Amino acid sequence: MAMTASRHRGPSGSDRPRPSRPWTVHVPFGVVVLLVLAAALRILQYHWREGAVLVGVALLVGGLLRAVLPEDRVGLLAIRGKVVDVVTYAALCAAVFYIALTITGGPFDLSS
Max Cα distance, the chain (Å): 71
Contacts of 66 (CB under 8 A, 6+ apart): 28, 74, 77, 78, 82, 85, 86, 89
Q: What pLDDT digit, counting tens, does each position of 58-104 carry?
A: 999 999 999 999 999 999 999 999 999 999 999 999 999 999 988 76
* Residue 67 host element (H or E): helix 48-68
Residue 15 has pLDDT above 80, yes or no: no
* Cα distances (Å, whole numbers) of residue 66 to 20, 55, 70, 92, 107: 21, 16, 8, 14, 31
